[in-house]
């Protein structure tokens, strides 16, 4: 029952690659990457690249399941000519877990269409301070730590509003948690939204109307939402995990905290709430970093260069 749909998808990919005779197959994410790389190799695609967008080696599953994920990725490496990862930490982990060799891995930072963000102006007249978490309401994203931190922060800053933007299996549990902490009136569950950032049909992106972004994840490839928030001058208080420290430089372009520690998360949020000048300066520094180093144009040029090297 479980194997059959996987084989069917692999066969469909195989015939697709065979029909069109692609020169390069570039897969993305774990499941699509595993099936796609194998199908591409069997179909005779000359060059195969893969971008994992993070990994599941820790933080997602138990010990046995995590080991199985590592083993499967080691197997899939046999069908991979080049890994294109988003951060140096991704590269280090692929090598450390024995998934691939250092010389097969290139780092290309995630890119945004920055010209779209420049057009958006923040609401300067808003009085209410807003702290938001944007992401799936699943254990690996740490939303429970965010709600617990909100309970701590609201004791000193009772007028701050906390937003959870996203949906997932933990939604009802998190609502009960907020009710148990007597903060349900200050914690708003917005669910899935299509107006979080630019590119939606809405004139004012949600991120442009918040003051602090919280990222309490236990595992994170790069935290693209941090990049998007930074474009609006919004500083992040984020877990020191995955590739996050390559964007959030503690005390400079954001605040780093230990993952799974709501007390530290609350402390970081309150640090920025107490000091408006610090909050604005860190947000501006984050914006300058992203605008200078994370454009879609640069990302495309680097990937194009790697394709050319693979072809020789």
pLDDT values of the chain reduced to their tens digit, one per residue, 312 residues: 445 555 566 688 888 888 898 999 999 988 889 999 999 999 999 999 999 887 776 666 777 878 888 888 999 999 999 999 998 888 988 998 899 999 999 999 988 888 878 777 666 667 789 999 999 999 999 999 999 999 999 999 999 999 999 999 999 999 999 999 999 999 999 999 888 887 655 556 889 899 999 999 998 878 889 999 999 999 999 999 888 998 899 999 999 999 999 999 999 999 999 999 999 999 999 999 999 889 999 999 999 999 998 876
Q: Are 215 and 236 in contact (CB under 8 A)?
A: yes
Element (H, E) at 58: none
* pLDDT, tens digit, 9 for 90 and up, residues 31-68: 889 999 999 999 999 999 999 887 776 666 777 878 88
Query: To which residue do tokens 């000193």 refer?
Result: 156
* pLDDT, tens digit, 9 for 90 and up, residues 275-300: 999 999 999 999 999 998 899 999 99
Rounded to whole angstroms, how far apart are CA atoms 256 and 286?
13
At 21, list the tokens. 């005779």
Rounded to whole angstroms, how far apart are CA atoms 174 and 10?
38
Rounded to whole angstroms, how far apart are CA atoms 227 and 283?
11
Q: Are 63 and 40 in contact (CB under 8 A)?
A: no
C-alpha angle 198-199-204 in degrees, rounded to nearest 5: 45
Element (H, E) at 165: strand 161-165
At a CB cut-off of 8 Å and minimum separation 6, what does 129 contact?
157, 159, 160, 161, 211, 212, 273
Strand partners, 236: 213
Please name each of the domains of the chain with its CATH number. Answer: 3-111+295-310 (3.40.50.2000), 114-291 (3.40.50.2000)
pTM: 0.83
């Amino acid at each position: 029952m479980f194997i059959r749909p996987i084989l069917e998808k692999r066969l469909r990919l195989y015939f697709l690659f065979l029909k069109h005779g692609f020169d390069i197959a570039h897969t993305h994410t774990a499941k699509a990457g595993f099936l796609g790389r194998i199908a591409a190799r069997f179909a005779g695609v000359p060059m195969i690249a893969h971008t994992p967008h993070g990994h599941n080696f820790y933080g997602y599953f138990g010990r046995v399941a995590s080991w199985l994920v590592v083993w499967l990725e080691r197997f899939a490496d046999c069908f991979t000519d080049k890994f294109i990862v988003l951060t140096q930490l991704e590269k280090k982990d692929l090598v450390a877990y024995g998934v691939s060799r250092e010389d097969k891995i290139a780092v290309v930072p995630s890119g945004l269409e920055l010209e779209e963000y420049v057009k958006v102006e923040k609401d300067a007249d808003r009085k209410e301070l807003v702290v938001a978490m944007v992401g799936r309401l699943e254990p690996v994203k740490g939303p429970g730590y965010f709600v617990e931190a909100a309970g701590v922060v609201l004791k000193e800053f009772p007028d701050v509003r906390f937003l959870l933007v996203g949906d997932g299996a933990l939604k009802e549990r998190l609502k009960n948690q907020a009710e148990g902490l007597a903060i349900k009136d200050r914690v708003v569950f917005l669910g899935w939204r299509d107006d979080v950032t630019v590119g939606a049909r809405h004139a004012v992106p949600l991120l442009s109307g918040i003051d602090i972004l919280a990222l309490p994840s236990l595992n994170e490839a790069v935290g693209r939402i941090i990049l998007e928030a930074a474009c609006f001058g919004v500083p992040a208080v984020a877990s020191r995990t995955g590739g996050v420290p390559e964007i959030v430089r503690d005390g400079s372009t954001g605040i780093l905290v230990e993952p799974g520690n709501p007390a530290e998360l609350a402390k970081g949020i309150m640090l920025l709430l107490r000091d408006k000048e610090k909050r604005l300066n860190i947000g501006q520094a984050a914006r300058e970093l992203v605008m200078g180093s994370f454009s879609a144009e640069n990302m495309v040029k680097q990937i194009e260069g790697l394709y050319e090297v693979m072809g020789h």
